[in-house]
Structure 1
Amino acid sequence: MGTARDYYREYYTERLWDWVPAAIREADETEGGSALRALLRAFASQAAVMKRSQDRLWDDMFVELADDWAVPYIAELVAARLVSALNPRGRRSDVAKTIYYRRRKGTLAVLEQLCDDIAGWDAKLVEEFRRLARSRHGLDGSAATGRVTGTPEGGLADLRSVRGSLLTGDAFDEFHYTPEMRRPRDRLGLRGIPVLGFHLHRLTLVQFSDVTPRLVRNLAGTRDGYAFDPSGRDVPLFGRGRARGDWSQWRSAAEGELPRVIDCRLYNEEIFAVGDPVIAWIRSTGLIANQATRRACAKSLSQIAGQRFATRAALRRVLGGLPQGAVLTSAGVFAEILARTLTEDSGAVVLQDAVALGLKGAAPIPRAAMRAADLGDWNRTAPPGIDLLFDPARGRLLFDPGAALPADLRARYTVGMSAPIGAGAFGRRNAQSAASVHWAQRSTAAGVPANGVLELSDSTTFDNPPNQPAITDLTIRAREQERPYVRLAADWKLGASGNNRTLVIDGLWIGALTGQLQIEGSFAKVTLRYCTLDPGGTDGAGGVIPPCGLVITGSVDELVIENCILPGLTLSGAGASLDRLVVRGSIIDAAKTGATGIIAPRTAATMTNCTVIGSAIDGLALDVEKLDASDTLVAARADVTDLQSGCFRFSARGPGSRVPHPYESHLLDDLQRLFASRRFGNPAYAELSETAPAAIRRGSEDQCEIGAWAGERRPIRLDGLRAKIDEYMPFGRLPALIVEN
């Protein structure tokens, strides 16, 4: 049961204290320890727990409101087969919908819904028997054709289709295959008659608004090269995804509705179909003056009713060959026909709101003036009428802002994130008081206050924030659902006025041209929460992005780092000290030149669910005096001075490491095959690869992957999903679970 703000403990403490005789109360207070009051507070805490339990007796009878401990008792009433208690969301959903699932057992809608309810992932379910090549007979009826390649169902592939080839092996593959007889295992044995393919997409979509694109390439002509990402690095753009609404209205997801990188050909795709609405419109439109001509045009359109056209040129060519072709292809009429025949499953419709760009305070560029293209070498010429060319796979764009400054550009786009680690436009669910100072639209004129709450109100770029040497109790935070980018041209110095001061930095992305985040003075506690201190890399033009480290030059009693990404922590100067370091759910990336890792030789550190990446598997990236680590992956060398204190449990470290009391821990020997990607900006950044040792992928205390993603418990969710799919699969079918990202 979580901590409630009902003040029961305080109430019962005072009631018990009132019952104590006055003489004893006075004697207890004069001795200075107030031990009796502390004992009564402990009794009051248990009384508060009992009172809360009594208050929730009615709520615990409903699975939507019950505490986690009560869910198994409700499950007994419906004989539900529970998934792991380490997946509380999936367990609660399973119990709440058990009867619903049983009534619809075996349907595709329920099987896809299980992926969402039990694992929290989007899924595309494919009946693999529909992709088997075979000879058709008279009872089959007319063969359906693929929407991309036009390949008839069960027929030969059109190898001239580039996009069709790129979809090979995907959930939207339109080619057909000879059957396999082996049992499915990942993608092996997938082409079987009884096989159902579950294509799982594990990434979470996060949308950024009002981002300031970064100018990275000066090109000849009026257009220049920008990156959607404010740091200038390549970041793939994703579609908006589909809204999870009423499952009774379920339909299989379209290609642009899943959390996956936007495909250029899909974004530019326009499919036109002539149907009854456009024929009815042509009979009554005022664009054609003569009534007889309107009837003749409607008759001509009815000749191609139901046909689909993959391009505007194909539609114009067919319309031009009709008896009333001259009228139908005239400028005004043809523009209306294009708008009214564009199908809902076209990529241009599905992805119409995926990307937006415009100037500050102005309307965004219309969708008709945007085109996706390959900007790998930046040398592309935009077709007539196209104002914006962008590369969704790299997050690049070509644009001419005119007389406006590049800093006035504003972009909206979506990226895929594995978990809420680092800065991101997601709800951080922290109790937050009202802000005393606001920064917005790159304005930092208000300065950094000494105490109170400073809130960065949007996701634009804030250059060179002012120093504050006299902090007493300060919180610097991003507004909920925003991710501001703070760019430093020099060290950002935050110091304390006096002793025992506190500082909280929440939700900021701090990057550096030539600077670091510097903590000065005497702090009792400094907290970094959901922050990214840029670990460094390269931008879209090949330039170096330096890492932005955390440097302590003063005295800090306790430093807490939660759900953060940073290149390292160092102590600088004779008076620098850090007594206690607590790191939870964070990534320390010391792989780039200039990144240090955690170098605090006189500090006692506690690390839980962390990933430390060094430049080499035997390079030093963690140097502390004492260490108590759990579920932590140190892909480098760790050097702990005091080997008698602490423990290194359910963790892994590089060769040559000195760690205290290893328990169920592992020794690493290779860095290259350990991670799916080590480039910050890649959706698979710092994730374990499929080639990582099994002991690392299932070596945490909960038998999940070791490192920063241990808290996501993805193996447990996958196991629970597999168990539920087996329970609700149609008879005789075999599941194949394929993790797409």
Structure 2
Amino acid sequence: MAIARDQYIDYYAEKLWEWLPAVYREQDALNGGDSLRAFLRAVAEQAAVAKRSQDRLWDDVFVELASDWAIPYISQLVATRLVSSLNLRGRRVDTAKTIYYRRRKGTLMVQEQLVSDIAGWDSKVVEEFKRLARTWHMLDCPLTVGRLTKTPKGGIADIRSPRGSRLACDAFDEFHYTPETRNPSGLTGRRGIETVSYHIYRLQPVTFNGVQPRRFGALADGRDQSTFDPSGRDIALFSGNALPVDWNGWQTAAEWELPRPISCRLLAEEIFEITAEEVAWVLTDAPIAGQPQREAAAIDLTKLIGESFYHRRELIRLLNGMPSSVTLTAPGVLAGLLSRALVRACGSAALLPNGADNAPWPVQNDPQDAAYGLPALTVGFAGVAEPVGRPRTRAANLEAWNPPNPADVDLFVSPETGRLVLNRGGNTAQSVRVSYQVGMLAPVGAGAFSREASIELPDVTWQNSSVVAGTPADGIAEVVDSRTYGSPQDQLAVINTRVRAREGQRPYFILRQDWLLTSAQDDAVLELDGLWLGSRTPNHLILDGNYERVLIRYCSFDPGGDAADGSVLPAVDLIVRGFVENLIIEKSMLGIIRLDGADASIEKITIIDSILQTRDAASVVIDALTAELRIERSTIITPSEIQLAVDVERLYASDTLVAGLVDVTDNQNGCFRFSAAASGSRVAKPYRSVFLQQISGLFISTRFGDHQYAHLTPQVYPQVLVGGEQGVEMGVFNQVLHEIKLRGAHTKVMEYLPFGRTPNFIIEN
């Protein structure tokens, strides 16, 4: 359990210092003033531990508040079988909900909750016997059909439905199959009577609000061509988890409620249903001139009650054929009718904002009463309260950036690539703001997630794309939004400079020139927290002078790539021209770390839970010949297994994956344990490590910005997937504990599975 920011250590250290006789304090000052304070701080740390333990004596009685060590003792009271001790969250939830599970054993509700509670992943549970083709008979429950394809249960598929064909073999498949006799293993052998498939979604949705999209240009008709991603990359937009927090109100997830990439057809999905509420609106509030016209339109509309229409053109075509078509298709009446008849349980209704021109949701169009959250993506303008609503938004394939230009549409979105074409009207290009979601496996790099940022008040605030306040020499500069900024000002007198993003924000900096930070004295301190540094021309972060400590946490230094228009995005390197005693990189994504100049050096580099990559076949990722490198749970990527990735004097590596060669000068000291590197590497004392003959196909994606960036391919090098110290994968996602969580979920699923059923886990992302 995380320790609260109680400041106990600082308090007791100062208290002990005050109690110390003045003569000893004076003597300590004459001898340098550090040794006695360091000793008292060590005593204060133990005093803080005792104080926290005393404070938590009562909390340890309750499973929600107890310390981690107390959970096994509480679990004995309910006689539950605990999962791995490394899965602390799963242990706690399992203990808290054991009685709840036992009362509902064998139900689908518990099966989906178990995966979420034990592993922390969203899931969709499917009983495969319901997808087997067979003859229906009268003893079965009432015959139902698929929501999209209208395929009857056990019946022949309607292969004319493009939407349904794209969902084949998916968790939301509406087709039916002949039985299989093979043992189920993922996607193979799962069509069995006894099989229960668990479609698991490991990625977590991360929401970015108030982002400035990158504008590439304008079409001939004046509409802007932009990307949601501020750097200009193609990215997949994700739907999010909108399931109710109260599990007693459980219902199985809909397609848009799971953290997965949004398809163009899902975003375009519109289902209309005419109910008595729409008829009543036509009779009373619709903008129709005369009462006879109202009554005639209501009579025609009554004939459509209970009918569903799977596209607006189907409903409009039918309305045009009615006697009162002139009234029903009048602009004001048709717009209000479409907005009220749109069923909430469809893709566009769930993913897009309602908009100022839409009526509130009717109650009868929400029969499941689901707790829908905020829309997955919005496009609006600074100073304008309402975003572009769904009536004026369409999904489209924007590969060619040239969609049609109907008068009733202002926004075209391609969710699979994160592109948009927007009619701004009278708004400026700089005022466009977007909000969207992406999928992340772990909080690495700059992102709008909780990262326990410092609680100290900032000295300088950067906001609204302005950095005029400058980089402080001795103080904190905080970026309070997720806007796009230009180059921060150079600071040539660094003493204790800290630049951070506010928690929950991810600002993007375009370096139009090198960002130079030079220390004003020996033992200067620099901290960068939560920043994303990119560039349109080759520019870098340069450190000059003498630094005692440089800390880079939750940052992304763009390793380069390709923009949506085909242009090249250059890499942002970390260049050291002076001396850095301790370079610390935590949970970050970086490009190259290199020295520049004969006097430049780094004494010690510490890298934890990070990704480093070069796309240049002639570059070394970590090029510091005299440095000592300590690296844990990190991934280093190069284009080839024959390329030098790390060149240091001494190396201590653990749970690390290096897709390239490692060259260590001092092979008598250091270690290379539970790690992997290219064959031919020179490392010290390898222990239970793997040396790769090739790295092609090792990663699902090496494109920075992809939601599967640096994910390992399951079929390549299985020894890397389980070669970490804890029996999990090597590299940056070692911290995810995938294998441990999966085994824990499997164990608990087997405990509460209905009799005679076989579980089958399918990892969707």
TM score, norm. by length of structure 2:
0.91
- The one-letter code sitting in structure 1 at the alignment partner of 2:313 is A
Alignment of 1:244-393 (within 5 A): 244-285=244-285, 287=287, 297-321=297-321, 327-352=327-352, 353-362=375-384, 363-393=386-416
Q: Distance in 2 between matches of 1:471 and 1:21?
A: 36
Q: Deviations over 1:483-525 (max 9, x none)?
A: 1111112211011101111000000000122200101111110
Corresponding residue number in structure 2 for 1:585 = 609
Matches within 5 A, 1:554-633: 554-592=578-616, 596-633=620-657
Distance 1:36 1:225, change over 3 A: closer
Alignment partner of 1:688 is 2:694: no
The Cα shift of 1:425 comes to 1.0
What's the CA shift for 1:462?
Answer: 0.9
Q: Which runs of structure 2 are paired with 1:358-437 in the superposition (5 Å)?
A: 358-362=380-384, 363-401=386-424, 406-437=429-460
Q: Deviations over 1:115-169 (max 9, x none)?
A: 2111111111112222111111223365322121222222111111112111111
Does the CA contact (< 8 Å) of 2:617 and 2:643 recur in 1?
Answer: no
Partner SS for 2:380: strand
Q: Is the 8 A contact 1:60 1:70 kept in 2?
A: yes
Which residue type is aligned with residue 609 of structure 2?
Answer: G
Change (3 A) 1:55 1:647: same
- Equivalent residues in 2 for 1:75-90, closer than 5 Å: 75-90=75-90
Farther-moved stretch of structure 1 (342-351 vs 362-371):
362-371
The 2-side partners of 1:643 and 1:58 are apart by 52
- 2:705 is aligned with what amino acid? G
Rounded Cα–Cα distance in structure 2 between residues aligned with 1:300 and 1:402: 37
Tell me the SS of whatever aligns to 1:656. Answer: coil
Distance 1:297 1:14, change over 3 A: closer
Aligned partner of 1:179 in structure 2 is 179
Q: Secondary structure at the residue paired with 1:378?
A: coil
Kept after mapping to 2: 8 A contact 1:240/1:257: yes
Q: Alpha carbons of 1:157 and 1:5: their partners in 2 closer, same or farther (altered >3 Å)?
A: closer
Quote the Cα distance in structure 1 between the aligned partners of 2:274 and 2:729.
Answer: 52
Q: Deviations over 1:243-279 (max 9, x none)?
A: 4411111111111111111111211211111223223
Offset at 1:393? 0.5
C-alpha displacement of 1:223: 2.7
| 1:472 maps onto 2:485 in alignment | no
Mean Cα deviation higher: 377-386 or 45-54: 45-54
Structure 1 unmatched ranges of 5 or more: none
Could you say which residue in structure 2 is the equivalent of 1:234?
Answer: 234
After superposition, the Cα gap between the structure-2 partners of 1:4 and 1:370, relative to the gap in structure 1 and judged at 3 Å, is closer
Aligned residues of 1:216 and 1:539 also touching (Cα < 8 A): no
Residue 647 of structure 2 aligns to a residue whose secondary structure is strand
The 2-side partners of 1:586 and 1:16 are apart by: 38
Match of 2:512 in 1: 489
Query: Which residue of structure 2 aligns with residue 454 of structure 1?
Result: 477
Amino acid at match of 1:541: D
Q: CA RMSD in A?
A: 2.6
Distance between the aligned counterparts of 1:321 and 1:291, measured in 2?
21
SS of aligned partner of 2:637: strand
SS of residue matched to 2:126: strand
What secondary structure is seen at the aligned counterpart in 2 of 1:138? coil
How far is the alpha carbon of 1:424 from its aligned partner? 0.7
Distance 1:518 1:308, change over 3 A: same
Taking a change above 3 Å as real, the CA distance of residues 418 and 15 of structure 1, as seen in their structure-2 partners, is closer
Contact 1:536-1:592 within 8 A present in 2 as well:
no
> One-letter code of the match for 1:87?
N
1:52 partnered with 2:52: yes
Q: Is the 8 A contact 2:228 2:420 kept in 1?
A: yes
CA 26–540 in structure 1, closer or farther in 2 if over 3 Å, else same: closer
Secondary structure of the corresponding residue to residue 279 of structure 2: helix
Q: 1:595 to 1:379 in 2, by over 3 A?
A: farther
Question: Percent same amino acid among aligned pairs?
Answer: 48
Question: Quick one: distance in 1 between partners of 2:17 and 2:240?
Answer: 58
Say if 1:568 and 1:149 are closer, same or farther in 2 by CA, change over 3 A: same
CA shift in 2, pair 1:397/1:37, >3 Å = closer
Residue 399 (structure 1) shift: 2.6
Cα 1:179–1:467 change in 2 (3 A) is: same
Shift of 1:405: 5.0
Distance 2:337 2:323 in 1: 16
| Distance change in 2, residues 1:6/1:175 (3 Å) | closer
Cα separation, partners in 2 of 1:38 and 1:287, compared to 1, 3 Å: closer
Structure 1 match to 2:750: 726
CA 1:278/1:31 → structure 2, altered by over 3 Å: closer, same or farther?
closer
- Amino acid in the other structure paired with 1:694: P
AA aligned to 1:552 is V
Q: How far does the alpha carbon of each residue in 1:541-567 deviate from its partner, in whole angstroms, 9 at most, with x for none?
A: 111111111000011110000011111
**Deviation readout 1:624-655 (Å, 9 max, x if unpaired):** 10110100001100001000111100000102
Match for residue 729 of structure 2 among 705, 724, 729: 705
Match of 2:139, SS?
helix
Q: Normalising by the residue count of structure 1, what TM-score does the alignment of the two structures yield?
A: 0.94
Paired residue secondary structure (1:90): helix
User: Counterpart amino acid of 2:713?
Assistant: S
- 1:534-573 superposed matches below 5 A: 534-573=558-597
